[in-house]
Structure 1
């Protein structure tokens, strides 16, 4: 039975397809726990996949720190250029592929969002001097904390995906601050998950 792909203006099809699949219970409730605000953890990211024949729909979520090394608004020309390079990579590079590297991106959308949290003066260490308080340490600034995240959707076309198909991900090669990537997948015949690390970058989807 084909995976439904509803069309809504302004929303990428991969994001919607996966949202419908996971929201309707294809994955168990614990797998959805990463959707809560406490899931923002540097070094960790999440990738969801819907596999059908030779098409893969993907949703990727990660703290911006894992990709850019900072979470504040880009201030310098170098930071703005870095974010532009990250966007281009996410829009054009398959987040997963087969060992034959025969997957290609047919649609993609990248969003960088987040929020600022205000803090009172008592939240700061009194031992920090005035100059040090004005420096940004991994997205933490005087009086506020920045939490920004990337939300990426991709639709891929691959060579025919067979039973027990092995995949690799280029995310950890490109973004070395990523220490762990949780992968969750669903297909017409089942579901599963895997945890990728810098030393384990392949996983198998049982079609």
Structure 2
């Protein structure tokens, strides 16, 4: 329960941009290609992380997969994101292991168009309606994101003093990760880049 409070504190913290919240209006304001967010909460030997990124950083596109190649690409990205022990490097002495990884993405949502012209007399009106619907749908898809939750356990938590983030190597579309840590020893915010990808705990 305490850990949930820590995660909530991270999400509510004013240190980083709270516009990563799920509200659509906020989400659109925070959605910036190349940028991502990593929230880290620690309680004793339990470390929970939340990674949020525009789908474009991960896949190169943000619409629902349109062909088999893109479907395969999406599935491979999901499987890669689940391999948290390969995306984050803990100090060996901390003896940390991945317990679970949960991947959610709005790119999987597909709003089927059920308004195709059924009456020839209304073909023109139907076409206009479909076009407007497609524009609204494309706009919604253009803000697809990945939201991933990781849980790790560390048998030597006192040795967990830094974290190597390999997300830049795995997903070349990521240029910057705004990182926020909160734990019993303090709170720390930092911006990671491909050249500076090690996060030091407070």
1:82 and 2:77 are equivalent in the alignment: no
SS of the residue corresponding to residue 151 of structure 1 reads: strand
Q: Deviations over 1:25-64 (max 9, x none)?
A: 5x33654244322000000000000012222101111000
Q: Give 2:168's match in structure 1, choosing from 172, 187, 190.
A: 172
Q: Which runs of 5+ in 1 are unaligned?
A: 6-15, 117-141
Q: Which residue of 1 aligns with 2:194?
A: 198
CA gap of 1:184–1:78, structure 2 versus 1, over 3 A, is: same
- When the two chains are superposed, the root-mean-square deviation of aligned CA atoms in Å is 2.5
Tell me how far 1:177 sits from its aligned partner: 0.9
Question: Matches of 1:102 and 1:189 in 2, distance apart?
Answer: 19
Tell me how far 1:19 sits from its aligned partner: 4.2
Structure ranking higher in strand proportion: 1
Q: Deviations over 1:112-155 (max 9, x none)?
A: 11689xxxxxxxxxxxxxxxxxxxxxxxxx73322100011010
Q: Which residue of 2 aligns with 1:20?
A: 8
Question: Matches of 2:6 and 2:59 in 1, distance apart?
Answer: 26
Q: Which runs of 5+ in 2 are unaligned?
A: 111-133
Tell me how far 1:86 sits from its aligned partner: 1.1
1:72 and 2:63 are equivalent in the alignment: yes
Q: Which residue of 2 aligns with 1:153?
A: 149
SS of the residue corresponding to residue 47 of structure 2 reads: strand
Aligned length, in residue pairs: 167
Structure ranking higher in helix proportion: 2
1:40 and 2:36 are equivalent in the alignment: no
> How does the TM-score come out when normalised to structure 1?
0.71
Question: Matches of 2:33 and 2:181 in 1, distance apart?
Answer: 22
Task: Decide whether the 8 Å contact of 2:10 with 2:41 is kept in 1.
Answer: no
1:4 and 2:11 are equivalent in the alignment: no
Question: Matches of 1:19 and 1:166 in 2, distance apart?
Answer: 19
Tell me how far 1:97 sits from its aligned partner: 2.5
Tell me how far 1:189 sits from its aligned partner: 2.5
